[in-house]
Structures are given as structure tokens and as C-alpha cells.
Amino acid sequence: MRHLRRALIAALLATGTLASAAACSSSGGTTASSGSGTSAQGGTYTFWDPYPQFDASSDWGKRVAACGTQAGVTVKRTGMDTSDLANKALLAAQQGNTPDVMLVDNPVVSTLVQAGILNKTSDLGLDTSSIQQNILGAGVVGGASYGVPIGANTLALYYNKSVLKAAGVDPSSIKDWATLTAALGKVKAAGKKGITFSAIGTEEGSFQFLPWFWGAGGDLTKLNNTNGVSALTLWKNWVSQGLAPNDVLQNTQTTSWQEFATGTYAFAENGTWQLGNAAKAGFPYGIINVPGQNGGSAPAPTGGEFVTVPVQKDTARYTATKKIVDCLISPTSLLATDNTLSYVAPTGAVQAQQAQQNPALQPWVAAVASARGRTSNGLGIKYPVISQQLWTAVQSALSGSQSPQAALDAAQQGVANHQG
């Protein structure tokens, strides 16, 4: 097991870690001291999360502390950068001092399961029956659930109503790739800019490409099939024709949003977490789902964190740990937490409450309902290698160094070489 954990740590470091800013609103790189689940006696339970931006006085910090109080213990919470958390979790497991509770980005769950770090939710008696299956799926390995999502986010298209109106484009007319591309052409002809997105060579780039890849019927186990090539060709053509800027190659989701916020772009592919910024943008905006190649809504990847319970030598600790987790995933906590984090709740009942309180969330509820986990369908720990090859192919095609077909051929060969 120790050798496996070392190999997984090396894999995480090689791919820049699975957990990126791709799917969450956390940021920063706060250094955190390692908590100790086995030595944390005297009613103190350790809790790690990827929210260094929230201190003890924040709504989130207060909620975690309150759940500890409700469980009859004191919670020592540590927030750290989402990528650091995954690496430190593996290291802590080697050292035998994992925290009692961890919130981890959903693609990381399968890696931690493979390393033997996490408990099954069924073994702890945690109820996941009300969680939407497509959201829960990112934490399911071998048919068993190893965590409970506290919420989800995903991607859609924000649009600038003023830019579209000036170009004579009705957003309701955008049904598929052809109508979207035609709209971008009208916007360019009217003197404005088309669409901005992130195609950076990290997980963010893969995350943003997946709705188009899946919307064409692409298969992550066969990156270079015709469907996947058509998606990469779409992006390549947009950049070549000036419908998307060349700097998408360097854009993070944050810098892409900053471009859209200038008011000169018609569309931006971005996430739920930008709703607050959209309200401050200074121009009227709307949201539509990413269209599939031939119509309908394309499946987008789910983002968001899972509450997980690492394996402890002292199994008596699980009683209080379960109470902490039950508190966090209760409907009351989910509503407050997901509103704080700009997440869509993982249950239909809480989603309805959110949409009632904030109608702007309704398109996101629909998007999350059709979203997919990046590690779902048995991909598990294969995903980081596939993703790295995918973002490399996107970079190669958009920069002009390879054709979309050649770039994805190389990507598929790269996956085969790694797995071989």
C-alpha cells in the first residue's frame, strides 16, 4: 500500500494534481499545518477543506464549527489550496495522521480510494439516497460511494444582451453549433468579439473543453475518434476565424471572465461561481446551456467538493465524525453552504429552495442535472492521464502545431503508452 501511495503522489505531482480551480471557487495557496486524526484527542477533530479564503469568522467557518459543537466536539479546521490538499492527504496517510474529515475536489476521490485512504459511506451509515446520481457518481468507485457531495457547479454560456442585440442575434435562436457559430460571425461583423473561454494547458483547459467534446459524442477512452476531432475542430476554427481570441491558450477561467467583463464579447464559457461577478459587470447578461453539436444541451463536467471520511486507526472516532458529516449534509446546512459557495445543491429539494430564493440559478440547476463526473463510468484514476493528454492536444491544435486529428491521435497514443 505504501508503494501505491508513493506512486499516486508522483502521479498527482506529474499532472499538476487532479484538483484545480477548474471546478470550484476556492483560491490562494495558504500554507496549512497537518492535522492528526489519530492523535487529536480531548474532543478535538481535524477538518481539512480547500477554502483558504474563508477564515473562522466566515459563514463557512462558523458552520463547520457549529457542526462540531452539535456533535459534542471541537473542530480544528484547516483550509489549504485545493491541489495541496490532495497531496497532503496522501502524505498524511503514509504518516498515519489523516484528518477526521476532508472536503476534496470530486476527481480526487477515486485517487484517494485507490490509495486506501477513504471509508465507504455505507460503512459509516451515511445516507446518500437523496443525492442526484450524476453528482454522486464522481465519488463512486467499484459501485460503492466514498463521499457525499456538498454541492455542484458546472459550465454554461454567459452572454452579453447588448452585444447580441446590436448584432441582430436572438439568443433563443442558438440551438446547436451551427447556429452558435453563425451568431459569432454576426457579432464579429458588427465590430464586437465572439466568444472567450479557457484552453490553458491545465485541468481548467480540459474542464472547459469537455462540454464540446461530450456534446459531439466524444469518448474519453477514445480521444481521437471522429466525434472528438469534430469538437477540437470547432474550437480551432473559431480561433482561426477570429471568433475566439488567440489568448484562450493562456486564459484561465478567471482571465477569460475578465475579458468578458470588458463588455466587448458576446459569449463566455464559465461557471456558476461567476454569478456574483456577472451581477457587477455593468451590462445586462443572460445564460444558456452549452449546445450540443446537433442540438440539445451538452453534458458539462460537474465540479464541487465531496465530504469524505479518511480511515482512522481509532475507529471509535467515527461516531462523532458521522455526526459532523450528517450536520454538514443536512438540508438546512446544504442550503446555507451552497448559497455561500455559489454551488447548486446536490438534492432536488434544496435546489428548488435555491431557485425560489434566486431565480438566476435556474439555468444552472438544469445544467447540473445533465452534467457528468469527470471520473465517472469507471475512469477513476485513469482520468488525470487522459485529461493531461487532452489539454495537450487542445494546445497543439489551437496553436497550429498539429491538426486536430493529429493532436488527438498523439493524445490517444500518450494515454496508451502510460497505461501500457
> Sorting pLDDT into bands at 50, 70 and 90, what band is 22?
low
Q: What is the pLDDT of residues 227-263, one digit of tens each?
A: 999 999 999 999 999 999 999 999 999 999 999 999 9
The residue segments making up the domain with residue 187 are 155-300+379-419
Q: Which three cell numbers stand for residue 85?
A: 490538499
DSSP string, 125-188: T---TTB-HHHHGGGEETTEE--EES-BB-EEEEEEHHHHHHTT--GGG--SHHHHHHHHHHHH
Q: What is the pLDDT of residues 23-35, one digit of tens each?
A: 544 333 333 333 3
The CA-based angle 114-388-30, given to 5 degrees, is 70
Amino acid (one-letter) located at 378: G
Residue 247's Cβ-count burial label (10 Å; 0-12, 13-18, 19+) is: middle
Is the pLDDT at 20 greater than 50? The verdict is no
Asked if 146 and 164 sit in the same domain, the reply is no
Residue 75 contacts residue 67 (beta carbons within 8 Å): yes
Q: Which residues contact 36 (CB under 8 A, 6 or more apart)?
A: 46, 97, 99
Backbone angles phi, psi at 265, to 5 degrees: -100, 145
Asked if 168 and 213 sit in the same domain, the reply is yes
**What's the CA gap between 104 and 106, in Å, rounded?**
6
Which residue is associated with the grid cell 438540508?
331
Backbone angles phi, psi at 291, to 5 degrees: -75, 150
pLDDT of residue 420: 66
Asked if 216 and 232 sit in the same domain, the reply is yes
Asked if 313 and 271 sit in the same domain, the reply is no
Count of domains forming the chain: 2
> Sorting pLDDT into bands at 50, 70 and 90, what band is 18?
very low
Is the pLDDT at 385 greater than 80? The verdict is yes
Which of 414, 163, 156, 410 lies closest to 300, judged by CA?
A: 156
Asked if 30 and 62 sit in the same domain, the reply is yes
Asked if 118 and 10 sit in the same domain, the reply is yes
Q: Which three cell numbers stand for residue 299?
A: 453534458
> Sorting pLDDT into bands at 50, 70 and 90, what band is 21?
very low
Asked if 141 and 282 sit in the same domain, the reply is no
Q: Which three cell numbers stand for residue 209?
A: 473543453
Q: What is the pTM assigned to this prediction? A: 0.82
Asked if 357 and 309 sit in the same domain, the reply is yes
pLDDT of residue 276: 87
The gap between the terminal CA atoms of the chain, to the nearest Å, is 21
Is the pLDDT at 369 greater than 90? The verdict is no
Asked if 136 and 164 sit in the same domain, the reply is no
Quick one: average pLDDT of 106-119? 91
Is the pLDDT at 19 greater than 80? The verdict is no
What CATH code is carried by the domain that includes residue 120? 3.40.190.10
pLDDT of residue 40: 40
Mean pLDDT score of the chain: 89
**What's the CA gap between 89 and 37, in Å, rounded?**
12
More confident residue, 358 or 23: 358
Residue 319 contacts residue 45 (beta carbons within 8 Å): no
Asked if 403 and 259 sit in the same domain, the reply is yes
Q: What is the pLDDT of residues 341-356, one digit of tens each?
A: 889 999 999 999 999 9
Which residue is associated with the grid cell 457559430?
181
Quick one: average pLDDT of 187-211? 96
pLDDT of residue 305: 92
Could you tell me how far CA 208 lies from the centroid of its own chain? Answer: 10
Q: Which residues contact 113 (CB under 8 A, 6 or more apart)?
A: 141, 146, 380
**What's the CA gap between 310 and 304, in Å, rounded?**
18
Which of 278, 236, 240, 234 lies closest to 260, judged by CA?
A: 278
Is the pLDDT at 296 greater than 50? The verdict is yes
- Residue 374 placed within a domain: no
Residue 210 contacts residue 360 (beta carbons within 8 Å): no
Asked if 46 and 108 sit in the same domain, the reply is yes
